[in-house]
Structure 1
Amino acid sequence: MKSKNFLGLAICCLMLSCSVKPEPIEFGKESCHFCKMTIVDEQHAAQMVSKKGKQFKYDAIECMLNDLSESKNSDEMAIFLVSSYGESNLTDAQKATYLISKEIKSPMGAFLSAFQSKEMADKTLTEVDGQLYTWQEIREKYGIE
């Protein structure tokens, strides 16, 4: 009887630990999955969660895109999140608008920022010089199929 209870408990724990949802990024404590630098910039961080619940956290959006480009595991991911510039909150990467502007530095030097809405990106574009991209366009720029 004890072994059945233990097995049930083990299965419940396994199911709870494999939850497909993002975990908060612990800024200043966690390292980027791609470049291994400490994640400190709340305005450029990114995160992916696999369909099995594995967390991938990045210090820069370009690290996430470079990792996707090299690993070719885009289909294994359930969630893509990016920090919304100027807001320091994570937003759906697939709905975000991206800006590459030499006037806004990002941690790895790609000058890549994301915005929760196109309106926010357009407003920033009136203040800086740069180019806007959709999720699909930025993926293509990084060679992600």
Structure 2
Amino acid sequence: MKNVFTLLIILALSSCTNEKKPIVYGSDACDFCRMNIVDKIHGAEIVTQKGKVYKFDAIECMINFKDDMTKEKVDMFFTNHYLKPEELIRAEQATFLISENIPSPMGEYITAFPTKVDAEKVQADKDGELYTWEELLKQQAN
């Protein structure tokens, strides 16, 4: 009986982990605008402190949704990036390029890169402005 009780406790605790979840492209819907998520470069996720995952079709949808959250506390922000579509990276560590030469689903032209060097290489070809996560949040608030 103790073993069953111990197993139930372990299962309950392990189900409350805070981690990103894969986006199912073409099936999952954006939690902000309700569009299907199909763009594998611009998808994003919020993971709350309680482990709930919200998925988005664009970085700008994630930012707008974050601003509307009142009860839940965000634990992590993730975003797809330009170099490896479908791969989610921490938004707080990414560099963002806003370039009209890289369209995004909601028309804000925000694209993430894993490093500043990577973003600068694409910026040289596509033009635009670079931002850190904090700078991007301030820029989008205006």
Task: Give your verdict on TM over 0.5.
Answer: yes
Deviation at 1:12, TM superposition (A): 3.5
Q: Which portions of structure 1, spanning 4 or more consecutive aligned residues, are displaced by more than 4 angstroms?
A: 4-10
Deviation at 1:72, TM superposition (A): 5.2
The aligned residue for residue 78 of structure 1 is 75
The answer to whether the 8 Å contact 1:69/1:143 transfers is no
The aligned residue for residue 52 of structure 1 is 50
The answer to whether the 8 Å contact 1:97/1:117 transfers is yes
Q: Report how many aligned residue pairs link the two structures.
A: 141
Deviation at 1:36, TM superposition (A): 0.9
Q: Which amino acid aligns with 1:79?
A: M
| Higher alpha-carbon deviation: 118-127 or 83-92 | 83-92
Q: Which amino acid aligns with 2:115?
A: S
Output the CA distance in 1 between the equivalents of 2:39 and 2:94: 18
Q: Secondary structure of the residue that 1:80 maps to in structure 2?
A: strand
Q: Secondary structure of the residue that 1:68 maps to in structure 2?
A: helix
CA RMSD, 1 decimal: 2.1
Choose from 114, 131, 134 the match for 1:133. 131
Output the CA distance in 2 between the equivalents of 1:33 and 1:14: 26
Q: Any unmatched runs of 5+ in structure 1? A: none
Q: Any unmatched runs of 5+ in structure 2? A: none
Q: Given the two structures, how large is their TM-score scaled by the length of structure 1?
A: 0.87
The answer to whether the 8 Å contact 1:49/1:56 transfers is yes
Q: Which amino acid aligns with 1:85?
A: Y
The aligned residue for residue 109 of structure 2 is 111
Output the CA distance in 2 between the equivalents of 1:10 and 1:34: 35
Q: Given the two structures, how large is their TM-score scaled by the length of structure 2?
A: 0.89
1:1-145 mapped onto 2 (5 Å cutoff): 10-71=8-69, 76-88=73-85, 89-143=87-141
Deviation at 1:10, TM superposition (A): 4.8
| Higher alpha-carbon deviation: 49-58 or 16-25 | 16-25
